[in-house]
Each structure stands twice: as C-alpha cells, then as structure tokens.
Amino acid sequence: MLGFSLKDLSILITGGGSGIGLGAAKYFLERGAKVTICGRRENKINEAADALGSSILGMVGDITRGDDRQRLVEGAVRHGGGLDVLVNNAANMYRGAITELQEDELTDIFNSNVIAGMMLSGLCVPHLEKREGSILFVGSVHNRRAFPGASPYAATKAAVQSLTQVLAAELGPRRIRVNCVVPGAVFTEINQRAGLFDDATARARLQGMAGMHALGRIGTEREIAEAMSYLISAKWTTGAIVDVDGGLGLGLTHE
Ligand SMILES: NC(=O)c1ccc[n+]([C@@H]2O[C@H](COP(=O)([O-])OP(=O)(O)OC[C@H]3O[C@@H](n4cnc5c(N)ncnc54)[C@H](OP(=O)(O)O)[C@@H]3O)[C@@H](O)[C@H]2O)c1
C-alpha cells in the first residue's frame, strides 16, 4: 500500500463529518488507524460513522463548548485505547467588509477556529505525551494571500499558523510534535456555505479558482489527507507549516 502506515494509532479529528476531515478519516482508517470524529450535525456524523465501519467513533458535539470537548477527548481515548493524534480541523468561514463586521459573528469564528482548538490541544496533552503523539492544525492560504472581505477567516488562520510554531516550541520538551497543513482550494461545504460555489456561478468560479493554482486545478480531500499522514508519521518534524495547495500560495493570478 502506498503511503504511511497508521496502524493502531488513535486519531481524533474535529469536524470529521464532512469535507477534508471526512476525507482524512477515510484515509487514516484505510491505513489501520482508530479514528474519532465529531461535529454538530448528528446526521452527518451518523452517516460517516455508519459508512466507515467499526474502527470509527462518531460523536455529536460542539467544540466551542467545554463540556463537549471533555466528552470528546474521553470518547476518543476510550475508543482508541489512548490518543496519538489530535487533528484540529473544524472551522467556519465568516466574510465581510471591515466596516460591516458583526462582533458576535467575529467572536463565534474565533471561538470555533482558534480558541476551541487551543483548549482541545491543552486537554489532549496529558494523553499525547504518553505516546509521543502530535497535534495537527489546518491552516489556509488566506493567511498569506490577501482576499478582500476575508479578514475574519484570514485572521483566524494566521492565528492557527502562529499557534503551530509556539506550541511546537512549548510541547517539544514533552515529546509532542505540532504541525500544520495549509490546503489550497478543495470543493467542500465551507466554500459552498460562503457562497463561493453557488449553483449559478459554480462553473465559472471553479475555473477561476483552478487557474489561480500553479497546477491548474483545485485539490481533493485525499491529497490533503496524504500530507497529514506524512506529518503524523514524520517523527523529527515539528513546527512545520506545509503547503498542500497546488501552488495557490505562489500568488499567480488567473489570466
Ligand atoms: N475547502 C477548502 O478550500 C479549504 C482550504 C483551506 C483550508 N481549509 C480548512 O480545512 C478545514 C476543513 O474544512 P472543509 O473545507 O472540509 O469544510 P467543511 O466541510 O465545512 O468542514 C468543516 C467541519 O467542521 C465542523 N465544525 C464547524 N464548527 C464546529 C464546531 N463548533 N464543533 C464541531 N464541529 C464543527 C463542521 O460540521 P458541523 O457544521 O456539523 O459542526 C464541518 O464538518 C477547515 O479548517 C478549513 O478552514 C479548507
């Protein structure tokens, strides 16, 4: 089998009921991991858990809630017999001109995209250090490519990339690695919800987005999962921020 063996690793993925998180869950399961996923929508979590077999545990929960985070970590530790990896994948998109931003929406996006992952990471440390485990954040090209109207999302992803490096330094002495994958465009719900791929304009949008990538196409969930599995397996890699973006971060413009 191509790729890294993840045999018997216990991996917790936030937001594994759709998109990149679901793609990662499938990929990790194929490589022998025991996976726990979570999300707020019961139907998405149940669908994924039913489809993917007995090595996956689906938990309905909101990572912005302390009690749900506690339950989630306990569930993952029980399911996997400990915990090797936390993938801080769940995030939401909020866009708008700086003059129009709503404070409650800003607070919500920082809670889900930054604060929840920090608190979860802290909760997982005692488990991860028993197994020389790792934390994986999911960043975004928005951190270094400036798209007008994307300031809330971009600011949260800049925070995630900064956290990766600070926590790598802080947790290195405890033998916990912290890394980050930075995906280019992948066609998932987060983009649909932000109206980036609505039906009427989907085709033109997709072509436009594809043209901004040096490789001329958007990516797949599986391609992000491959890079994640590398970072999970690379025992001397920490504090790394790895672009998996088809060259989107190079700053090409669509002709
Ligand atoms: N797709 C792209 O082009 C792209 C590019 C760069 C980076 N990313 C990053 O990739 C990651 C995954 O996004 P995606 O593209 O796969 O979009 P997605 O399909 O919308 O996945 C996000 C997941 O997070 C879950 N989630 C959101 N808030 C949550 C909360 N408070 N508690 C628990 N779960 C929560 C959602 O499920 P519920 O709504 O059911 O809770 C959803 O399943 C995100 O970090 C995103 O920023 C995506």
CATH number of 10-184+219-240: 3.40.50.720
pLDDT at 118 over 80: yes
Instruction: Give buried/exposed letters for 148-181 (b at 16+ CB in 10 A, else e).
Output: eebbbbbbbbbbbbebbbebbeebeeeebbbbbb
113 φψ region: left (φ > 0), alpha (ψ -120 to 50), beta (else): alpha
Interval between CA 19 and ligand 1 midpoint (Å): 7
Amino acid identity at 248: L
Question: Average pLDDT for residues 169-174, to the nearest whole number?
Answer: 98
State the burial class of residue 239 (Cβ atoms within 10 Å of its Cβ: 0-12, 13-18, 19+): middle
- The CB of 185 under 6 Å from ligand 1? The reply is yes
pLDDT at 236: 97
- The CB of 14 under 6 Å from ligand 1? The reply is yes
pLDDT at 1: 46
For the stretch 29-76, pLDDT in tens is 999 999 999 999 999 999 999 999 999 999 999 999 999 999 999 999
Query: Residue 127 has which token pair?
Result: 């488990």
Higher pLDDT, 64 or 204: 64
pLDDT at 254 over 60: no
- Alpha-carbon distance of 66 to 64, in angstroms, equals 7
**Does residue 89 contact residue 138 with C-beta atoms inside 8 Å?**
yes
- Alpha-carbon distance of 45 to 18, in angstroms, equals 8
Interval between CA 21 and ligand 1 midpoint (Å): 7
For the stretch 70-98, pLDDT in tens is 999 999 999 999 999 999 999 999 999 99
